[in-house]
């Protein structure tokens, strides 16, 4: 249980309207997309900047209060769930794209920016941010980094890990540090930036991210290839790559998965008995 005095101090750090302790809010923060898990926190905080997060972590560190960072709560491994109670720290208010620098092929964003919103903001500049987890319409950049998320375009463009240049993080003792530099050629010291990628909120809280961006790709071709067996489909991926063909995106769809989606969405698919499909995308760049 968090002492009442600490609760009042935490509330005053974020200010009115930026905390919640009603039943609905605690319930919402108790789960993510992982099946059937529910661990309610005692308090949900919505800080607005790194300075507030620093104050929160200092207080929680001294008073041994567990802190669980939460993006959009779309994770599939229960990583943001408050398994020991304490605080759910939401990045909902840290949702600004701070700088789009097309000359240096990079953007600076706050962690609560939704992946798809970043892509949309880059479009008028003729740029894109390639990492494409299927949850990109709702998941946040902070969550993507903490999960090292990737999608079908990983085959050509890589995953989130390949796009993180530098991070501002708040350490568990409240110190605020940058992990690297905003340059491609950075050979100094440990690669702390990549230590944070995939760390699932355990090492610190990301409060700013400098990400690489690329010129926008033009769509050229999308193929759906059917197979009698899923194994043959999987082997074909290696054959495609061995033959020097570099798709921009590739994804295996199994019959069972397709049938579940069709039923759920009440959709029809051409009558086929194939066991698996590959969809293969090819872009100009
Ligand atoms: C329908 C669906 C499709 C998906 N498809 C893919 C896919 O194709 N590829 C893939 O890789 N994954 C996929 N995922 C899982 C994916 O990794 C997550 O959706 C996404 O990366 C999590 O982002 P989030 O904002 O929801 O983070 P949350 O679920 O809220 O949190 C995830 C982790 O990130 C930590 N975290 C969040 N913000 C910060 C921060 N600012 N600082 C430090 N830690 C932080 C949390 O503590 C937690 O450990 C999918 C999930 C769903 C539901």
Instruction: Please write the tens of the pLDDT for every residue from 133-185.
Output: 999 999 999 999 999 999 988 988 999 999 999 999 999 999 999 999 999 88
> 4-90: what CATH class?
alpha beta
Residues with a CB atom less than 6 Å from ligand 1: 32-33, 68-76, 79-80, 91, 111, 133-135, 139-140, 142-144, 146-147, 149-151, 200-201, 205-206
Reply yes or no on whether the pLDDT at 266 is more than 70.
yes
Confidence (pTM): 0.89
Protein residue closest via CA to atom 39 of ligand 1: 142
Reply yes or no on whether the pLDDT at 204 is more than 60.
yes
The kind and range of the H/E element at 195 are: helix 192-196
The closest alpha carbon to 51, from 159, 176, 147, 166, belongs to 176
Average pLDDT over residues 104-126: 97
CA distances from residue 234 to 175, 241, 249 in whole angstroms, order as listed: 46, 12, 14
Tell me, in angstroms, the distance from the centre of ligand 1 to residue 191's CA: 22
Tell me, in angstroms, the distance from the centre of ligand 1 to residue 243's CA: 34
Protein residue closest via CA to atom 28 of ligand 1: 73
CA distances from residue 200 to 50, 145, 196, 225, 284 in whole angstroms, order as listed: 18, 8, 8, 36, 35
Q: What is the mean pLDDT of the chain?
A: 93
The closest alpha carbon to 259, from 247, 272, 249, belongs to 272
Q: Note the Cα 280 to chain centre separation in Å.
A: 24
What is the fold, at CATH topology level, of the domain defined by 97-215?
Answer: 3.30.465
Tell me, in angstroms, the distance from the centre of ligand 1 to residue 132's CA: 12
């Amino acid at each position: 249980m968090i002492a009442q005095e600490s609760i009042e101090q935490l509330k005053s750090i974020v200010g009115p309207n930026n905390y919640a302790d009603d039943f609905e809010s605690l319930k919402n923060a108790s789960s993510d997309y992982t099946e059937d898990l529910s661990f309610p926190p005692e308090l949900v905080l919505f800080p607005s900047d790194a300075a507030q997060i620093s104050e929160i972590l200092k207080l929680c560190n001294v008073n041994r209060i567990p802190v669980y960072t939460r993006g959009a709560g779309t994770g599939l491994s229960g990583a943001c769930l408050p398994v020991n109670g304490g605080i759910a720290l939401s990045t909902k208010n840290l949702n600004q794209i701070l700088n789009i620098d097309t000359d240096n092929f990079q953007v600076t964003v706050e962690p609560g920016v939704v992946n798809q919103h970043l892509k949309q903001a880059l479009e008028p500049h003729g740029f894109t941010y390639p990492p494409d987890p299927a949850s990109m319409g709702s998941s946040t950049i902070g969550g993507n980094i903490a999960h090292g998320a990737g999608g079908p375009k990983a085959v050509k463009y890589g995953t989130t890990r390949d796009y993180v240049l530098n991070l501002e993080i708040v350490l568990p003792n409240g110190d605020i540090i940058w992990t690297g530099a905003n340059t491609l050629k950075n050979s100094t010291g440990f690669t702390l930036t990549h230590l944070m990628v995939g760390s699932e909120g355990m090492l610190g809280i990301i409060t700013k991210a400098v990400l690489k961006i690329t010129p926008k790709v033009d769509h050229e071709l999308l193929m759906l290839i059917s197979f009698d067996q899923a194994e043959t489909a999987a082997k074909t991926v290696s054959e495609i790559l061995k033959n020097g063909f570099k798709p921009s995106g590739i994804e295996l769809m199994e019959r069972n998965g397709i049938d579940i989606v069709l039923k759920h969405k009440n959709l029809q698919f051409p009558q086929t008995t194939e066991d698996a499909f590959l969809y293969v995308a090819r872009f100009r760049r």
